[in-house]
Chain A
Amino acid sequence: MLFSPKNDWFGNIKGDVLAGIVVALALIPEAIAFSVIAGVDPKVGLYASFAIAVMISFVGGRAGMISAATAATALLMVTLVKDHGLQYLLAATLVAGVLQIIAGYLNLHKFMSFVSKSVMIGFLNALGILIFMAQLPELTNVVWEVYALVALGLCIIYLFPYVPYIGKVMPSPLVNIITLTAIAYFMGLTDVRTISDMGELPDTLPIFLWPDVPLTFETLKIVFPYSVSIAIVGLLESLMTANVVDELTDTESDKKRECKGQGIANIGSGLIGGMAGCAMIGQSIINVKSGGRGRLSSLVAGIFLLILVVFLSDILKIVPMAALVAVMIMVSIGTFSWTSIKELKTNPKSASIVMIATVIVVLWTHNLAFGVFTGILIGSLFLAQRLSQFMFVKSEYDEASDTRTYHVVGQIFFNSSDKFISYFDFKEAVDNIVINVKRSHFYDVTSVAALDKVVIKLRREGADVKLVGLNSASQTMLDKFAIHDDPEEIEKFISGH
């Protein structure tokens, strides 16, 4: 059972408010960085993060999870923004939201069971690498001061928590931003890029805006493929993050509600000029680590973020990009599963191959969904292979009755059917043949056809064939698709029609 509504909201007020503030401070650099990835003004990402964080606190299915503008979805928008502009991105965001709501009603969250642990690790690793790679434009062809600032920023982020007392109460990413901004400003480092170089920051509260696109089929044709990608990737990351939060907090979440909630939040974002987003693994972990458990933390994060950016936009403008880059490198390091590298040696090869394939396809396509599909596909092939390996047939011969008995053990399906046939000795001339399938299962038409082939072939060699030990599921398959007991069908089979 889920938390009761009261508990969900007000069961942990102090913890949620403090965590929400910590989260908001970390959301700002991320929202700006992800806007840069998508190729839009920082205000698009900031408005999106505000809208999504606030709305999901009401409509989401996982209390304590943080959703906002994300790298995973931003990466999918790049070409749309480049070719058609911001308004089409807003339209795509709305359509993606609608698709996610539909996915929620269709219970598509159940397909998450196909995502194995290896695929999930691959997803996280790929995401970590992508976030890191997105920082490279800020790190190439720049003055040496930028490298110095980023290095200093990373030192602050990782070492400041060790400072007695204040290290435990001040979020180190914030300390990094304040310090680096002060250094860049007071030392007059004019060659160091600042947030204002990235585009417009929010200077007003968001207003309701219908995307300025022609409401035609043409428009839909342009945005739809992007919307599908955004909807899928958004749900994938959201549901994976929900699993992470479930595990960390030892509580359950409502995945169906989460799917619909993500859709509603995206629609809300699109209508106030924000880009599409989803749940964020890094931020959700920061939230849980900071003591956030309820819906309140996400609400506080969203509102606090908006207050900060609207009223402090003059200060935000002079923040050097190096400070944001340092935060994003931290996020990428935190997202990447470092133990998975060690586990490459110890895990089964198939698991490692699935993980690496997922990463490679994501890095190649910049679309996390393709990586996940690849991972699932390869994983399934490995499973099919493994099941076939465990299928075998042993046989014994009883001289007195001239009976050969075959004992079939394991799963018979498309991949193991040929192997199944190969166990039978069709050249042996015996009167009676018993095929005992008690410890096996026939899954599909291919396996039933293989059984047909075996039975008919053995009968043609003059043996009386008896099939024993069918379980009821296999019996149903046979009743529907087998022909070896249907004379007419055998006729066709033998004559090759």
Chain B
Amino acid sequence: MSEKNNKYILVGIDGSTISGPLIKFAIWLAKSNGLTIKILHTIEHSHQTENPHHEGNLTPNIRRELLKELSEEERVESKALMATGKTLINTAKETVNAAGIDDVVAKLRHGTLPEAIEDLKAETALIMLGSKGISHQGTEKGLGFHLEESIRATNSPVFIAQKEFTQPKKVMFIYNGSPTSKRALAMITQDTIYKEPLEIHIVCVNSDTELANNLIAEAKSAFAQSKNSIVTKVLTGDTIEQLTSYQKDNNIDITAMGAFSHGKLHGFFFGSFTTKMIQQSDCNFLLIR
């Protein structure tokens, strides 16, 4: 067994509507790359109390009493969350089994999703998440609360499911020559994530078309050995606008790109390109750190 095979496709589910398609995408990838699916659900403790006391007084041995009370409250909360979580992961596991994959792991962990991703870093080959968690369901532009933090917590590629499952055929790869996009290129040309041929659209947005053409040629040559069919396109104008309309016009299933190359602070002031891109697209994503 090679080292790669000891690693998992970590699929984070939380019971939101996107969790269903996400599992199907996971099955699709696992069947191609042979990795084991690990279904993960995190039990997020609120660490808050449902029964605050506003008496404002301190009774003797208050610390001990309060600790007992709060621990008991959390114990009950945890039990309930774990029961719900178990149902969730077991249902997902059955779906995977039904698709003909027997080897699947289902795990519950305490804490937040980014914490879990950080903790499981060593055994993760690929992470798969839905773009919106259960608390953002139905909101138009909102992104999952933990999504950015989760992606930043890992070095592995992250697949983000954003729409219903259809067998992916077309992948758009955004290339701009930056170090992150170079890493992304290297990752994709290895075909470790998905082995069967796809239609890959290498796209570069740059007003300097000569530079853009050079970049595209550079990327295309990296695909020389691959069985994928390659389409290239240079776009000019507003980056996000151009890319999202290209996605639509060409029925792109998955957009692959380098992600979060800038620090958190940069993102705070200028807004993150990755976040905006995901928010404004109706497309699945493969983000490479």
Contacts and interface: CB of A to CB of B under 8 A. Distances in A.
Nearest to B51: A291
A290 B57 CA distance: 10
Interface in A140-176: 157-158, 160-161, 167-174
B49 A15 contact: yes
Contacts of B149: 4
B118 A169 contact: no
Given A22-B54, A158-B57, A171-B54, A289 B62 contact: yes
B58 interface: yes
A251 B111 CA distance: 10
B199 interface: no
B61 A171 contact: no
Interface in A1-58: 1, 4, 6, 11-12, 15, 18-19, 22-23, 25-26
Contacts of B115: 1
Interface string B38-72: 00000001011100111111111111101100110
A285 B63 contact: yes
B54 A250 contact: no
Contact of A22 (B56, B62, B66, B145): B56
B114 interface: yes
B61 A249 contact: no
A31 to B, nearest CB: 15
Interface residues of B, number: 30
B123 interface: no
Nearest to A244: B63
Contacts of B60: 333-334, 336, 338
A160 B57 CA distance: 10
B180 interface: no
Given A1-B112, A291-B49, A337 B61 contact: yes
* Dominant SS among interface residues on chain B: loop
A51 B149 CA distance: 33
A118 to B, nearest CB: 16
B74 interface: yes
Interface string B136-176: 00000000011001000000000000000000000000000
Nearest to A282: B58
Contacts of B47: 249-251, 293
Contact of B66 (A12, A19, A289): A289
Nearest to A331: B58
Nearest to B45: A250
A294 to B, nearest CB: 9
Contacts of A337: 61, 63
A299 interface: no
A338 B55 CA distance: 21
Nearest to A288: B66
Contacts of A171: 54-57
Contact of A339 (B54, B55, B61, B111): B61
A167 B114 CA distance: 42
A296 interface: no
Given A250-B74, A293-B48, A18 B62 contact: no
A208 B70 CA distance: 41
B280 to A, nearest CB: 22
Interface in A429-454: none
Nearest to A334: B58
Range for the number of chain A residues in contact with chain B:
35 or more
Given A285-B66, A288-B66, A339-B64, A161 B48 contact: no
B112 A290 contact: no
Contacts of B67: 247-248
Contacts of A290: 52-54, 56
Interface in A323-349: 330-331, 333-339
A22 B112 CA distance: 30
Contacts of B61: 337-339
Nearest to A171: B56
A478 interface: no
A376 interface: no
A288 B74 CA distance: 14
A161 B112 CA distance: 36
Contact of A286 (B45, B49, B58, B74): B58
A25 B45 contact: no
Contact of B114 (A1, A15, A251, A330): A1
A286 B1 CA distance: 57
Given A1-B115, A250-B45, A333 B58 contact: yes
Which of B62, B63, B66 counts the most chain A CB atoms within 10 A?
B63
Interface in A256-307: 282, 285-286, 288-291, 293
A344 to B, nearest CB: 15
B110 to A, nearest CB: 10
Contacts of B114: 1
A173 B55 CA distance: 8
Contacts of A169: 54
Contacts of A282: 58
A244 B61 CA distance: 13
B283 to A, nearest CB: 27
Contacts of A251: 47
Given A12-B48, A247-B67, A167 B55 contact: yes
A328 to B, nearest CB: 11
A4 B114 CA distance: 10
B53 to A, nearest CB: 5
A291 B48 contact: yes
Contacts of A331: 58
A300 B54 CA distance: 15
A293 to B, nearest CB: 5
Contact of A334 (B45, B62, B118, B146): B62
B193 to A, nearest CB: 27
A334 B56 contact: no
Contacts of B74: 250
A334 B47 CA distance: 23
Given A15-B49, A251-B47, A291-B49, A334 B54 contact: no
A335 B58 CA distance: 8
Nearest to B115: A1
The 8 lowest CB-CB distance pairs between A and B, nearest first, are A334-B58, A291-B52, A171-B56, A161-B55, A22-B56, A172-B57, A1-B115, A338-B60
17 contacts: A1-B114, A4-B149, A12-B48, A157-B57, A158-B57, A247-B67, A248-B63, A249-B47, A250-B45, A250-B47, A282-B58, A286-B56, A289-B53, A289-B62, A289-B66, A334-B58, A336-B60
Interface of B: 45, 47-49, 52-64, 66-67, 70-71, 74, 111-112, 114-115, 118, 145-146, 149
Given A330-B58, A334-B58, A339-B64, 8 more contacts: A19-B54, A160-B55, A171-B55, A172-B57, A249-B70, A286-B57, A289-B66, A290-B56
